[in-house]
Amino acid sequence: MSVKLVSWNVNGIRAVSKKEDFWNWFDNTDADIINFQEVRATQEQIPKKLADADGFHKCYNEAEKKGYSGVGTYSKIEPVCVTKGLGVEEFDSEGRVLKIEYPDFILFNIYFPNSGMEGKRLDFKVGFCNELLKQLVELKNEGKNLVITGDYNIAHNPIDVYNPKNCEGKSGYLPEERAWLDELENAGFIDTFRMFDKSEGNFSWWSYRFKARERNSGWRLDYFFVNEEIKDNVKSAQILADIYGSDHCPVTLELEF
In one-letter notation, the amino acid at residue 138 is: E
Q: Tell me if residue 19 falls in helix, strand or coil.
A: coil
Residues 6+ apart with CB under 8 A from 89: none
3-state helix, strand, coil in the chain (%, to 5): 30, 30, 40
Question: Of 221, 250, 257, 220, nearest to 8 (Cα)?
Answer: 250
What positions carry a catalytic annotation? 151
> What is d(CA 150, CA 139) in angstroms, rounded to the nearest whole number?
19
Question: Of 5, 1, 31, nearest to 253 (Cα)?
Answer: 5
Phi then psi for residue 10, to 5 deg, are -90, -5
